[in-house]
Copies of this chain bind each other. A is one copy, B any other.
């Protein structure tokens, strides 16, 4: 069927190894020979067989990316950035969706499928500290998006806790006192939910505001519908509040929608603040004040970090943790004061 090195070699009148040398830019090839070979390659439309190359060389130039769901805008935008960053390094990306499910995350780490890749970037949701051992894998691995415990691999993470504290303080400094949060999820041991909640509580404590758990609404998934549902629940509880901190933009936008349906004005009656700085946060009505967690930096750094480890000597590097800078993007839903 498809042409192989040998076919090209026969046509060019050289040994098939010389063709291989041409393809791999081996320096000692006479220009005349190189040209002859290149003509033959063009004529036959020869393309190297990647499986054979991988088998022989051990490199696949492919990485795997595991995210909960592409349906979640945050992960979709992140995946897009990672795929682009990988491509710049000559890597293609294989995308897996774990649904944030611990079993599937663990299964993925042991999947034979990974032998088709040079390494994995995973954004885990379900795994907890008890799974530390599972991360001791024989291939390059970068953990993404969580400030975790002392795990034996590279992390590229955001300042969840600091950012949540800063966001809460921002709301407080703009005069809000009864700040609800949406997105709490104690099941997710290591996840952002816990860390963001902690940041929120720290800010309250620092500012001498009492923590009221009636203002905390759970949301295990962070779709827009979950934000809407959570806000309805909050309204039903009948607690007073003058601000809502959504643990991500999607939740915040869903919640904002319900607030407005209920006749509450944003930001006059209730300020709303999100987390992620999604594309759409700038275009909601009102536009959403949010935390930019440095997503682009995260994506690029994750790929760079993985790439270093894939290269030779990579296995010897000590585990590294890299933290993105965040900033609060002020928009209409929660003005500075």
Q: Contact residues of A with B, CB < 8 Å? A: 1-2, 47-52, 54-55, 60, 62, 69-71, 73, 76-77, 79-80, 83-84, 87, 92-97, 110, 112-113, 115-116, 138, 223-225, 228, 253-254, 256-257, 260-261, 279-280, 282-285, 287
Choose among B112, B225, B283 the residue that contacts A224 (Cβ–Cβ < 8 A). B283
User: Are B94 and A92 within 8 A (Cβ)?
Assistant: yes
Which residues of chain B have C-beta atoms less than 8 A from A282's C-beta?
Answer: 224-225
Chain B residues with Cβ below 8 Å from A80 are 69-71, 76, 97
Q: A1-B138, A94-B93, A95-B93 are in contact. Are A50 and B285 (CB under 8 A)?
A: no
Does the CB pair B47–A225 fall under 8 Å?
Answer: no
Bound CA span A188–B234, Å: 47
Please judge, given known A-B contacts A73-B73, A80-B69, A93-B95, whether A47 and B283 are in contact too, CB under 8 Å: no
Q: Is the CB of A50 within 8 A of B116?
A: yes
| Distance to closest chain B CB from A79 (angstroms) | 5
Q: Which residue of chain B lies nearest to A61 when distances are taken between CB atoms in the complex?
A: B113
B95 touches A283 (CB 8 A): no
| Residues B115 and A50 in contact, CB atoms below 8 Å apart | yes
Q: In the bound complex, what is the Cα–Cα distance between A154 and B32 (angstroms)? A: 43
Q: How many copies does the complex hold?
A: 2
Question: What are 18 residue pairs bridging A and B, where the CB atoms are less than 8 Å apart in the complex?
Answer: A47-B110, A47-B115, A51-B115, A62-B116, A69-B80, A70-B79, A71-B77, A76-B76, A76-B77, A92-B96, A92-B113, A93-B95, A225-B283, A256-B285, A257-B285, A260-B285, A261-B285, A284-B284
- State A94–B60 Cα separation when bound (angstroms): 13
Contact assessment for B55 and A279 in the assembled complex, using a CB-CB cutoff below 8 Å: no
Given A48-B115, A83-B97, A280-B224, are A71 and B62 also a contact pair (CB < 8 Å)? no
Within 8 Å CB of A1, what residues of B? 138
A2 with B138: CB separation less than 8 A: yes
CA distance A283 to B254 in the complex (A): 6
Are A223 and B279 in touch, CB under 8 angstroms? yes
| Cβ-defined contact, A112 with B228, below 8 A | no
B224 touches A71 (CB 8 A): no
Q: Is the CB of A70 within 8 A of B77?
A: yes
Interface hub of A47, A49, A95, A96 (most chain B Cβ within 10 A):
A95
List 10 tightest A-B contacts by C-beta distance, closest first: A76-B76, A70-B80, A51-B54, A47-B112, A51-B55, A50-B116, A224-B283, A71-B80, A50-B115, A257-B283
Cross-interface CB contact of A112 among B50, B112, B279, B284, cutoff 8 Å: B50
Most buried by B among A49, A115, A283: A283
**Are B83 and A95 closer than 8 Å at their CB atoms?**
yes
